[in-house]
């Protein structure tokens, strides 16, 4: 949903830091915790706000000036946001904008519902180039693949536009998860270029091929501008998450992490991340994502059923923190939001001064800590290893479901009654209650409902076909 996208500062395959939610946002209609409504796209609304909440505006200006007079902090903020970063609250607006209303608008971005409710946004749109081509590049060595990405990122045309618009890395585990049979142990980089005209597209492809000539590719570089061909590459890329999730051990949780490195660090950092994950024994984990922006996701299928498994996860996260923050000064979260998982590490990544500013912003917007408590700001240093969402076994037909929600856009019953995913969530909850010796009919979920969970959920036919091919062959 648009609210969630802006609240996470989501971006995507082509957006980087130049066209993420923050860069595309023009104005917002904000509902504050006390019910005050501010539409930063309306002069009348801004004047009213100024009359009634002059103190709020003054405090925003004070924080802005405090940051700007501190050169070290200002430089740190600029450096941190030179790559994707959604760890903590968004501090960039204090540097990027003078107007307090612009600052308020952009403070919303990435705030994950911790500051106010967003009921409307006005955003710019990106130009959709009419001519596109993609190539699946294969490398025998992951470092070589990253070096090629670093080289491709530097390519620009005479208008000073980037030639390569997207470069998505898929490590060999990712390729294996979608049954790619090109070769053993390869790394792929799905590369995309776009142009205003056919001639420009051809020039772009030539420039990329010339750059890649000095790299060791496993098979010859071949771009295609045929949508029926390149859409298959992109379908492979989109299928990684559900495919890895669909093949996990029943009862484990599919976790997706989201780190970013500065592009010059990519070759070393990627190889080290791969070794780190292997060192912790996550044999089926894979690394993939937006390499052009130094932003990787890695997926692990984690059990939380024993203390030993929770410990293993904790140790992994501590090592990730050391690698990303201490060694490479990168982002622990790039586009998925801090949540509770990274809340204990916000201060660690940003340092004391920046963290204090974030806390001051939170206190200004939500003095009673009513909005999404525990998200982004959490005093419990171990909150990331507590209160795990359980995924109890419930039915072989649905145990593979990772609750990704891809089916909901096509779900006939979503919004009318429960969606397929919601049915699965409730079935799991019923199983969890039963396994713990509780009566699901006594659950607060049903206390005002004359329909019992069984009558709502019993028929197997209640589940629609899962649209994710890799999952659907084995699951719902
Ligand atoms: C399979 C998958 C692939 C993804 N790929 C990408 C990707 O390529 N690039 C990328 O950037 N991100 C990606 N994401 C993460 C992405 O940022 C979020 O999943 C998504 O954009 C959030 O939208 P949502 O509607 O699901 O929000 P939710 O998860 O429902 O909400 C996100 C946060 O915002 C808050 N929130 C939501 N709406 C409002 C509102 N109106 N007002 C105030 N607070 C609100 C919620 O409380 C929550 O804290 C991916 C996620 C998944 C599951
Ligand atoms: S059933 Fe829906 S929520 Fe579950 S894995 Fe398939 S697409 Fe995702």
The 10s digit of each residue's pLDDT in 365-390 is 999 999 999 999 999 999 999 988 88
| pLDDT of amino acid 363 | 98
Spacing, Cα 207 to ligand 1 middle (Å):
36
Q: Whose CA is nearest to atom 8 of ligand 2?
A: 404
The whole-angstrom separation of Cα 375 and Cα 112 is 8
Instruction: Provide the pLDDT confidence category of residue 398 given band limits of 50, 70 and 90.
Output: confident
- Judge if the beta carbon of residue 335 lies within 6 A of ligand 1: yes
Mutate to test the pocket of ligand 2, among 398, 465, 467, 474 (most ligand atoms within 8 A of CB): 467
Q: Where is average pLDDT lowest: 23-37, 396-410, 462-476?
A: 462-476
What is the pLDDT of the chain when averaged over all its residues? 91
Helix (H) or strand (E) holding 118: strand 117-123
Spacing, Cα 457 to ligand 2 middle (Å):
16
Quick one: CA torsion of 226, 230, 232, 236, rounded to 10 degrees?
Answer: 180
Query: Which ligand 1 atom minimizes the distance to the CA of 404?
Result: 53
Helix (H) or strand (E) holding 259: strand 253-260
The whole-angstrom separation of Cα 260 and Cα 188 is 19
Ligand nearest the Cα atom of residue 376: 1
- Judge if the beta carbon of residue 404 lies within 6 A of ligand 2: yes
Instruction: Provide the pLDDT confidence category of residue 230 given band limits of 50, 70 and 90.
Output: very high
Mutate to test the pocket of ligand 1, among 4, 117, 341, 468 (most ligand atoms within 8 A of CB): 4
153-163 tens-digit pLDDT: 999 999 999 99
| pLDDT of amino acid 245 | 83
Query: Which ligand 1 atom minimizes the distance to the CA of 241?
Result: 1
Starting at the edge strand found earlier in the chain, the sheet holding 25-31 runs 37-39, 25-31, 117-123
Query: Which ligand 2 atom minimizes the distance to the CA of 476?
Result: 1
Q: Whose CA is nearest to atom 53 of ligand 1?
A: 404
Structure tokens given for 157? 């045309």
Spacing, Cα 401 to ligand 1 middle (Å):
19
Instruction: Provide the pLDDT confidence category of residue 241 given band limits of 50, 70 and 90.
Output: confident
- Judge if the beta carbon of residue 423 lies within 6 A of ligand 2: no
The whole-angstrom separation of Cα 462 and Cα 345 is 42
Helix (H) or strand (E) holding 455: helix 453-457
Residue 133 contacts residue 224 (beta carbons within 8 Å)? yes
Mean pLDDT, residues 74-86 taken together: 98
Query: Which ligand 1 atom minimizes the distance to the CA of 289?
Result: 8
Spacing, Cα 424 to ligand 2 middle (Å):
9
- Judge if the beta carbon of residue 427 lies within 6 A of ligand 2: no
The whole-angstrom separation of Cα 213 and Cα 183 is 20
The helix/strand/coil state of 464 is coil
Mean pLDDT, residues 255-278 taken together: 96
């Amino acid at each position: 949903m648009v609210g969630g996208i802006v609240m996470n500062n989501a971006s995507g395959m082509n957006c980087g830091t130049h066209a993420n939610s923050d860069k595309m946002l023009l104005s917002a209609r904000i509902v504050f915790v006390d019910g005050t409504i501010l539409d930063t796209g309306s002069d009348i609304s801004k004047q009213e706000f100024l009359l009634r909440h002059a103190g709020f505006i003054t405090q925003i200006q004070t924080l802005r000036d405090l940051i700007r007079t501190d050169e070290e902090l200002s430089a740190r903020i600029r450096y941190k946001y030179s790559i994707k970063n959604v760890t903590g609250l968004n501090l960039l607006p204090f540097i990027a904008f003078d107007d307090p209303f612009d600052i308020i608008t952009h403070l919303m971005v990435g705030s994950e519902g911790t500051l106010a409710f967003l009921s409307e946004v006005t955003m710019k749109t990106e130009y959709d180039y009419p001519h596109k081509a993609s190539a699946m590049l294969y490398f025998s060595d992951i470092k070589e693949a990253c070096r090629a990405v670093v080289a491709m990122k530097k390519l620009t045309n005479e208008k000073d536009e980037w030639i390569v618009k997207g470069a998505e890395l898929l490590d060999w585990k990712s390729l294996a998860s979608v049954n790619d049979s090109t070769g053993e142990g390869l790394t792929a980089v799905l590369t995309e270029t776009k142009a205003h005209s056919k001639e420009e597209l051809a020039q772009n492809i030539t420039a990329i091929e010339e750059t890649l000539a000095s790299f060791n590719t496993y098979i010859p570089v071949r771009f295609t501008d045929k949508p029926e061909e390149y859409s298959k590459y992109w379908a492979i890329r989109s299928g990684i998450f559900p495919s890895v999730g669909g093949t996990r051990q029943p009862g484990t949780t599919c976790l997706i992490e989201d780190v970013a490195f500065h592009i010059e660090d990519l070759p070393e950092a990627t190889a080290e991340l791969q070794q780190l994950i292997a060192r912790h024994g996550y044999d089926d984990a894979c690394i993939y994502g937006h390499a052009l922006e130094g932003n990787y996701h890695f997926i692990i299928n984690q059990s939380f059923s024993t203390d030993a498994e929770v410990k293993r996860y904790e140790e992994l996260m501590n090592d990730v923190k050391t690698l990303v923050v201490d060694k490479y000064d990168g982002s622990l979260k790039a586009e998925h939001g801090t949540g509770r998982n990274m809340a204990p590490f916000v201060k660690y990544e940003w340092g004391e001064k920046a963290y204090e500013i974030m806390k001051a912003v939170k206190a200004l917007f939500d003095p009673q800590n009513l909005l999404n408590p525990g998200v982004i700001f959490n005093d419990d240093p171990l909150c990331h290893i507590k209160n795990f969402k359980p995924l109890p076994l419930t039915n072989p037909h649905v145990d593979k479901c990772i609750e990704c929600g891809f089916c909901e856009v096509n779900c006939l019953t979503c919004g009318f009654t429960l969606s397929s995913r919601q049915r699965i969530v409730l079935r799991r909850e019923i199983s969890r209650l039963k396994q713990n010796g509780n009566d699901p009919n006594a659950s607060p979920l049903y206390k005002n409902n004359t329909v019992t969970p069984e009558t709502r959920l019993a028929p197997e036919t209640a589940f629609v076909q899962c649209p994710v091919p890799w999952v659907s062959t084995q699951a719902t």
